[in-house]
Every structure is written in structure tokens, then in C-alpha cells.
Amino acid sequence: MTKCPIRNFDLKTMSRPAGPQWQDRQTPGAAQMIFTVQPAHWNGTWHPDPKVQWIIPLSGSWYVTAMDGTKVVMGPGEISLGEDQRSVRDGAGRIGHYAGNVGDGPVQLLVIQTDEVPTIGQPCRFR
């Protein structure tokens, strides 16, 4: 996993007469928003993402472990791009990523699934 800055911001208004704000518009396209609440102690075992998707923790802490063993814990104010649909099962039977909750409470996530075509080896392609 690679930590990537989002930095292509333009100062403009979202809707007049509101004042300008810094915006980084991503590629336009279809998107599905899903609000999900994972119960306490939830884990998703090894699986690929169903679509290219942004995962945004709203409350609680959530982790994701990549096939190379890299583990990242995220909470509110952080964002993750899930794009492992084209991963290949390894000798240990792992594919995609392993995710779960940290702590004893539920975790609320906003998942935004896109119609983007998944890529391999292109970290930080969204800027």
C-alpha cells in the first residue's frame, strides 16, 4: 500500500453565491454510495474489492492488510482506495486484502464504488 497525497486543487465555488473553496475533482463517472456499519469485532477474511472503491471511515477504527503483509489502520478523516480486483491468489490462499475492525465497537464506513477500470502497479493514479 502506498500513502498518496491528493493535491490537484483549484479554488472555485461549488455553487454561487457561495464563496470559493479548494476542490480536487476526480474523473466524472457513475458511482454508488454505500453506508455500512460493521459490527464489533467484524473481519472480512481475504477477499478482493467488488469494484474500484473509496473507503472512508466515519466512526471507529478499521484496518486493511495487503497481500504483502502491509497493514494500515484508519479512522475518521482518512480515506483508502480499494483496487485489488485483479490480484492473484498466492500460495497461502490469500487474495485481495484482509480487513477488520479495531476495538470493541462497531465501525461506520462510507464506501463509494466507481465504474473505474481497476489497474495494477499504478499507485497514486488519483491525484
| pTM summary value | 0.86
Q: What's domain 27-114's architecture?
A: Sandwich (2.60)
What span, in angstroms and rounded, lies between the C-alpha atoms of 58 and 5?
20
Helix (H) or strand (E) holding 21: strand 21-23
pLDDT digits (tens, 9 = 90+) for 53-103: 999 999 999 999 999 999 999 999 999 999 999 999 999 999 999 999 999
DSSP assignments along 56-124, one per residue: EEEESEEEEEETTS-EEEE-TT--EEE--TT----TTS--SEEEEEESSS-EEEEEEEE-PPP-SS-TT
Contact 40, 64 (CB under 8 A): no
Tell me if 72 sits within 8 A of 1, measured CB to CB: yes
pLDDT in tens, 6-19: 888 899 999 999 99
- Strands across the sheet containing 43-47: 43-47, 97-102, 61-66, 71-74
